[in-house]
Structure 1
Amino acid sequence: MTVDFKGRVAIVTGAGGGLGRAHALALAARGARVLVNDLGGAVDGSGGSVGAAQKVVDEIVAAGGQALANGASVTDFAAVQAMVQQAVDAWGRVDVLVNNAGILRDKSFAKMDMDDFRLVVDVHLMGAANCCKAVWPHMVAQNYGRIVMTTSSTGLYGNFGQANYGAAKLAQVGLMQTLAIEGAKYGIRVNALAPTAATRMTEGLLPAEVLAALKPEAVVPAMLVLAHESAPTRAILCAGAGGFEAAHITLTEGIHLGLDDDTPEQLAARLDEVLARTDGEQVPQSGAAQAQLEVGKAMAVHA
């Protein structure tokens, strides 16, 4: 099977440089018409110019592809709606959305200004939600859509100095889980990508040889698979330096204690059993799985 995108229309946000640029170039090289979105601001989200997006468009066109530039901020829903309409007006549809736009405002939580916390959540989470909302009716109408969220190992597992970024990135996974359920009957598949890549966000943080291995292009194959017509749905793929893994949010088998005056003491005494990872651990298909497991254990005791 060839992973191609002939006849497909893709929107990639934050595509003026780094990972987003690599995504846009790869989609175009495999046949997609690509709307390249980038605010053109600094890493912290300040400033803005459509120049960065236009430069990537020029690269795509020079290579024989079709592309358009867009400078909307993903935090501006009206501008995002206009961006999606720009793609629809030019090419008649939107098949793929890659939510890649993001900023950093790193500091330890103790020293972090709450405005910086809010802004990072606004760009990553609300930006992704705005873009999903804008493409959703088009994908529903055509009974086809592929959405790729960009999560992070910081969101999945934590990282010092990135409470705002981590919160926003795991929130994208929560958005992905529900959109995948709601989109299933419309042929919309929604997945998340956790990249490890050297971009201008990581400059100065890693040694040169590590940066060389972590080129953005090494993450792109995972994005292409998640954006393709053969994509899974509700997958969290991790990618970097040519390696690929999957992350799962799981539920342990746990125990049933009932509710007595000493249940807190019982739980404290048996907490290791609750936390234990066994063959009974599962990857829930929806949030209802937790209630089903708990009620099932309770019913078994009273049967």
Structure 2
Amino acid sequence: MAASSSTDFNGDTGRVVVVTGAGKGLGAAFARGWAARGARVVVNNRHHGNGASSAETLATALRADGGDAVADLHAVDAPGAAVVIVAAALAAFGRIDALILNAGITGPAAKIPALPADALAEVMAINFFANTALIDAALPHIAASPSGRILFVSSTGGLYGVRGRSAYAASKGAITAYALSLAHEQRRAGIGVNVLCPYAATAMTAAPGVTVDPRLAPDKAAAAAVWLTSSACTATGEIWVTGGNLVRRALAIEGAMADAATPEALAAAPPPPPAPGFDGGEAAFTDFYSHLTKEA
């Protein structure tokens, strides 16, 4: 599959899209974006039982606006949750056309080796293993769709690392590699599998005393998610970075071949050809944000 120039979403009215972690923030923006295009949306978000469910609140709002949506309140990492979430989508709408795997946590801020092993395990359970379980449960149904699409919501932290957030970066790096592997495996089947690394101001990224830039609103990252899971998009196996209604592709590159017979030869190996690259996730965001401010 190659990148498509088509922007026709007319064939996606009635499309069934499951969005995890969709009670608020980016997931809610993705759900709203698809509902606005006539899709039937499964809004998944865990509910702790205190007060109104954010997933139910959003699903109700989408229906009030003329959309078709149901809420699912399962935590993605709960035992058996993947099968139950898929079953809920099938019970409500009879099929699944697209899956947006957005649920995730940042985990604790701790530098290596101060990161507790159980904290790393928790982040991996939610950010990685819960997603692989959902793929296992949903893939046969997505394969039955005439235009099955899967989108993994990752992070540039998984590409470049993040100081003090090694657990988060590791989980996102793992899910990116998993997604690209899945894309290779499903290419002949026609299932589009891509990775989205969004920049957005959400509760997950909030910091005390920091003013939120409205240009980084979650809704301004939704267009890319909607397009990448649409029938119009034939891109697969790609990494996309988005935010503020801007987007760019990310790609791993390798340098020229060199002799590795001696330490001296290894030290002289040429670097990859000139291309945008970043020393950590913070530098990647700073560069992306500089382009956003230029658009103002």
TM-score (norm 2): 0.84
User: Any gaps of 5 or more consecutive residues in structure 2?
Assistant: 1-6, 276-296
State which of 265, 268, 289 in structure 2 corresponds to 1:270. 268
Give me the whole-angstrom Cα distance separating, in 2, the residues matched to 1:187 and 1:50.
39
Alignment of 1:158-197 (within 5 A): 158-197=161-200
User: Any gaps of 5 or more consecutive residues in structure 1?
Assistant: 42-46, 258-262, 280-303
Residue in 2 that maps onto 1:241: 244
Contact 1:53 1:70 in 2 (8 A): yes
Cα deviation 1:63-100 (Å, max 9, x = unaligned): 01111111112123522111111111221110010000
Give me the whole-angstrom Cα distance separating, in 1, the residues matched to 2:50 and 2:98.
25
- Larger Cα-atom Rg: 1
% same residue: 32
Residue in 2 that maps onto 1:297: none
Contact 1:103 1:120 in 2 (8 A): yes
Q: Secondary structure at the match of 2:273?
A: coil
Alignment of 1:126-137 (within 5 A): 126-137=129-140
CA-CA distance at 1:111 after TM superposition = 2.4
Q: Relative to 1, partners in 2 of residues 1:154 and 1:206: Cα closer, same or farther, differing over 3 Å?
A: farther
Q: Which runs of 4+ in 1 moved over 6 A?
A: 47-50
- More contact order relative to length (CA 8 Å, sep ≥ 6): 2
Residue in 1 that maps onto 2:152: 149
Between structures 1 and 2, the one with greater helix share: 1
Residue in 2 that maps onto 1:82: 84
Which one-letter code corresponds to 1:72 in the other structure? H
Contact 1:39 1:48 in 2 (8 A): no
CA-CA distance at 1:13 after TM superposition = 0.2
CA-CA distance at 1:156 after TM superposition = 1.1
Q: Relative to 1, partners in 2 of residues 1:93 and 1:49: Cα closer, same or farther, differing over 3 Å?
A: farther
Which one-letter code corresponds to 1:241 in the other structure? G
Give me the whole-angstrom Cα distance separating, in 2, the residues matched to 1:246 and 1:50.
38
Which one-letter code corresponds to 2:257 in the other structure? G
Q: CA RMSD of the aligned region, Å? A: 2.0
Contact 1:50 1:70 in 2 (8 A): no
Residue in 2 that maps onto 1:222: 224
Cα deviation 1:157-191 (Å, max 9, x = unaligned): 12211100000111111111111111122221100
Which one-letter code corresponds to 1:33 in the other structure? R
Give me the whole-angstrom Cα distance separating, in 2, the residues matched to 1:213 and 1:142.
35
1:12 and 2:19 matched: yes
